[in-house]
Every structure is written in structure tokens, then in C-alpha cells.
Amino acid sequence: MNQIVVGIVGAGQLGRMMALAGIPMGLRFEFLDSNPQAPAASLGKLHVGSINDASALAQLADAVDVMTFEVENIPADVFSAVADKTVLAPSAKALGMAQDRLCEKKLFHKLQIPTARFAPVDSEQDLQEAADDLGFPCVLKTRRMGYDGRGQVFLHSDTELSDAWRKLDSNELLLEEFVDFEQEMSLIAARNRSGATVFYPLTTNTHCNGILHTSQAPSGNTELTAKARHYVHNLLDDLDYCGVLTLELFVTSAGLLANEIAPRVHNSGHWSIEGAATSQFENHLRAILDWPLGSTAVTGHSAMINFLGCLPTPEQSLDIPGLHYHSYDKAARPSRKIGHATIVAEQPDACEQAVQRVLEFYTPAT
């Protein structure tokens, strides 16, 4: 039997974890990445090239049965141009929409998904007017290419506007009201080509300098879960979506506000490798191949701790009951995600205690 070949644009840790989920199902992987030593390189054939290069994408598309991505900054027109060569999942439309915070916000509004108040900012004059309207504090963000806290500036007064405008150096910005959130959560769903959909439980996330630091699942009450699922259902239907989609949310006293979507497997779903019957990585592959989706039932109370900039040793970590150790085979650099630990415990208290034990010997280097 011919093996099914999955193409992944990007060969970072997300691609690596996808391959680690797919190889046992008999899948073969090919990747496109400019780094010959990328974390997924040892798990399939690596095409070394730029994700911006139409011919490199075409070469990957020609070699695979289905093509997906683990990075969001592929030019959507370049991605869409290979649609006649292979199956693209998620679609170029979903990718393009998620690349622009303004398009994303407009989609949220069309689907009646609440967000913080915002205004597009294309000039310094717009910035002043938007700040007058939204008030302080507020957050100025680039519409494109912002991630892990990059491309955003928190503003507290009029005197900071000019510096922020110069710092972000773009005429495609967005000013957002500051959200005094109680918690940050995410909801991850998978939808296959036939429309079957599964949801993971709400996950609570904490950040360190804008970078995800910890996740805990399951979280939230039934009311929040129902609301979040309703929002994600609407997004999936509107985009005729195929694959895993993540919605990042702020929990406020007035309810949930959508922050942004990620059209891919997400760092806040890494706990699902050991903490759910089927991981987000396996369900993404099942979805893009239009296979039946797996149960998302949790196996206990889970936590994920990102190892940012430094990696504790397995000897230190594996002594903790229920801990699973993941290293991405990446060199350590400040703020870089180089591994994570998942903890699965029967009781929430035991899970929390294990997290505290990890934090005794691991401090993020950001």
C-alpha cells in the first residue's frame, strides 16, 4: 500500500509533534523550512527553502497528498497558488484571515463574537484619534506578523503615542482597548473535511512577557464552555474550516472576549498529548485527511509548562509523578520555546503541586 504523505510548511516543534503523532498511523512526512537543523528534520524529508518562496512551496506540494502548516506567516497568495497541486488544509482563505488582526476582528463582529473595542490605525493622526476614543490604557498592535507579544506596545498616556508609532514602524496597525481580564483561556477544536467537529475543554493560560508560560485543562464552567464552543462553531462553519483551530479568549467580569484565532495546532494544546484520549496533533491529521476524529476526553487534570530559554534536565523533572518531558532539540536562546513538560494527575491539587515543584527548579529565561 502506498503511504500517505503529509506536507508541513515549517519544521519546528509543532511540525515535529504532528509527525510524532502521525508516524504510528502509517503517515509519512515532508517539511519545508529554511533551517536544515529544524526540530522536525529527523522525522521526514526536509526541503530546505523559504516559506515565502513560491517554487519551494510548489515543490513540496508536488510531493505530498495533503499540505498543512505549522507557521502562520506564509504569504496567503503563495500558499493559495499551489491549490491545484495538492489538498490544502486549512485553506488559504483561513490562513489569510488569521494573518490580519483587522480582518479577524471584522469576522468576529460579523459572527457576533464579542471583542475589546478597537480601531484601525493607518497614520499617527489615526492613532491620536483612536486613543482619544478608546482612552488609556490601550494596546497598539501590528495587524500582521505579531506573535508571542512581539509587534505590540501597551500605552498609558498621550505622551507615549509618538514613540509607539515610531517603534512599530508600520502603517497597518490596530489600537485596542486594554482588557482587565480575570483569566486568559483558549478553546481548541478540530473539524474534518466532512464537517465532523470535536472540542477540547477550555484551557487556562498564563503568559510571561507575552509568551505562553503555562496551560491548565480542563478549565471553565459549563456556561463559559458553551459560549466558547458556540463562537468556535460559528468560525469553523463560516470558514468551512478543515483542521485544528484555536480561539484565544479573555475572561472578564462581563463574559468572554475573543482576542485572536490561530489556524493551526496551538501551544496551549500541548497538554493533550498525554492529557486527552486523542491529542490535538493526531486530530489535526485525522481532520485534514478526512478521517474520523478521535475522542477529546481528558485522562485527568493536566498542566503544561513551557520551557522558555532554558531546559531543566530529565533527571530533575522525571522524578515528579505524572510528569512527561518534551525537548524540541533546539538550542537555548532567551525567550525561545525549547521544550515543555506535561503533568497529568487525578486530582487538581496534585496537578498544581507538581507544577509548583517544576517551578522550584525552572525559571523562564526571557
Among 9, 38, 127, 139, indicate the residue that binds ligand AMP (CB under 6 A).
139
Among 176, 306, 308, 338, indicate the residue that binds ligand AMP (CB under 6 A).
176
Among 207, 223, 226, 237, indicate the residue that binds ligand AMP (CB under 6 A).
207
Near ligand AMP in 230-289, by CB under 6 A: 248, 259-260
CA distances from 277 to 285, 291, 293 (A): 15, 16, 11
From the list 174-182, 297-305, 307-315, 341-349, the region that binds ligand AMP by CB under 6 A is 174-182
Residue 9 within binding range of ligand AMP, rule CB under 6 A: no
Nearer to ligand AMP, 178 or 199 (CB): 178
From the list 69-77, 128-136, 171-179, 304-312, the region that binds ligand AMP by CB under 6 A is 171-179
Residue 146 within binding range of ligand AMP, rule CB under 6 A: yes
Among 70, 72, 100, 184, indicate the residue that binds ligand AMP (CB under 6 A).
184
Residue 178 within binding range of ligand AMP, rule CB under 6 A: yes
Residues 95-124 as x/- pattern, contact with ligand AMP by CB under 6 A: ---------------------x--------
Nearer to ligand AMP, 44 or 263 (CB): 263
From the list 14-22, 155-163, 175-183, 337-345, the region that binds ligand AMP by CB under 6 A is 175-183
Residue 210 within binding range of ligand AMP, rule CB under 6 A: yes
Binding site for ligand AMP (CB under 6 A): 116, 139, 146, 149, 152, 176, 178-179, 184, 207, 210, 248, 259-260
